[in-house]
């Protein structure tokens, strides 16, 4: 009974924190994503990827999440390694969990990035809470290549990947690689996105 009361109070406190703008852990957003859609949240994290000047990814000690804004220069002054605080609304964009940022503050620069989480494909393919997290897939085999798109597989599953940058490394079917990437989603299909050619070891 006491545990139930404590859990109820904890959920209430966290809900109030979201409503009144206190910083919350990113994992809290994933855990309560359906309830938080359309609501404003306040999060702080280190930028782990910058794909465009209006599309970046941050991660705190608990999880990661994508940040977006319609202003194509919203994050032009933000660099990988910056610790930032943002306010914005929780959104679901074709399955991608993201925050549409309304306010941003750069807190510090040149912070160390979190170590990528070593996973199997099955660990991320059906786990939406890993969207925005930096992961590493070891000894995966390239099974399909089509321009910027590719498919990799291990002994558990296969998954799609995509190069969101130009001058990308040419992969070949049959290559066995170690891949560091950010977990994302496109049209409700979880995918992985390397940040640069340095994320690929052949």
Provide the token pair at 143: 């099974």
Domains 2-108 and 117-201 share a fold: yes
List per-residue pLDDT tens for the chain, 202 residues long: 455 544 444 445 444 444 446 999 999 999 999 999 999 999 999 999 999 999 999 999 999 999 999 999 999 999 999 999 999 999 999 999 999 999 999 999 999 999 999 999 999 999 999 999 999 999 999 999 999 999 999 999 999 999 999 999 999 999 999 999 999 999 999 999 999 999 999 9
pLDDT tens for 156-171 read: 999 999 999 999 999 9
200: Cβ contacts below 8 Å, ≥ 6 apart: 169, 171, 177, 178, 179, 180, 194
What are the domain boundaries of the chain?
A: 2-108, 117-201
Q: Which fold has domain 2-108?
A: OB fold (Dihydrolipoamide Acetyltransferase, E2P) (2.40.50)
CATH superfamily of 117-201: Nucleic acid-binding proteins (2.40.50.140)
pLDDT tens for 8-49 read: 444 454 444 444 469 999 999 999 999 999 999 999 999 999
Provide the token pair at 184: 């994302």
Torsion sign, CA atoms 177, 96, 45, 35: negative
CA distance 47 to 42: 15
What phi and psi values does residue 192 have, to the nearest 5 degrees? Answer: -125, 145
CA distance 28 to 31: 5
């Amino acid at each position: 009974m006491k545990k139930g009361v404590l859990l109820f109070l904890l959920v209430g406190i966290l809900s109030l924190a979201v409503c009144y703008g206190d910083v919350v852990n990113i994992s809290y957003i994933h855990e309560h994503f359906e309830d938080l859609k359309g609501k404003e949240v306040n999060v702080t994290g280190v930028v782990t990827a910058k794909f465009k000047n209006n599309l970046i990814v941050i991660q705190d000690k608990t999880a990661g999440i994508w940040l977006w804004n319609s202003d194509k220069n919203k994050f032009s002054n933000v660099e990988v390694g910056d610790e930032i605080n943002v306010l914005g609304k929780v959104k679901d964009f074709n399955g991608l969990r993201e925050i549409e940022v309304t306010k941003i503050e750069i807190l510090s620069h040149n912070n160390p990035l979190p170590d990528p989480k070593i996973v199997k494909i099955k660990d991320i393919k059906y786990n939406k809470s890993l969207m925005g997290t930096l992961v590493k897939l070891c000894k995966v085999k390239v099974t399909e290549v089509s321009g910027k798109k590719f498919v990799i597989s291990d002994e558990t599953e296969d998954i799609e990947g995509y190069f969101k940058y130009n001058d990308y490394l040419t992969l070949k079917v049959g290559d066995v690689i170690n891949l560091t990437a950010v977990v994302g989603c496109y049209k409700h299909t979880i995918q992985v996105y390397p940040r640069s050619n340095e994320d690929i070891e052949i």
